[in-house]
Amino acid sequence: MSDWEQVSVKHAGGEDHLLENGTGSGSETVFACGKFDSKKRPKKGDKYDITATPKDEIFAMDWTATCTFSGETSEFKVE
The percent helix, strand, coil of the chain (3-state, each to 5) is 0, 60, 40
- pLDDT, position 60: 94
Q: Which of 38-41's residues contact partners 24+ apart within 8 Å by CB, and which partners?
A: 38/72, 41/70, 41/71, 41/72, 41/74
Sequential pLDDT tens for the chain (79 residues): 579 999 999 999 999 999 999 999 998 899 999 999 999 999 999 999 999 999 999 999 999 999 999 999 999 999 8
- pLDDT, position 64: 96
- pLDDT, position 1: 54
- pLDDT, position 79: 80
Residues 74/42, Cβ–Cβ less than 8 Å: yes
Compute the distance between CA of residue 56 and CA of residue 5 in angstroms, rounded to an integer.
9
Identity of the amino acid at 53 = T
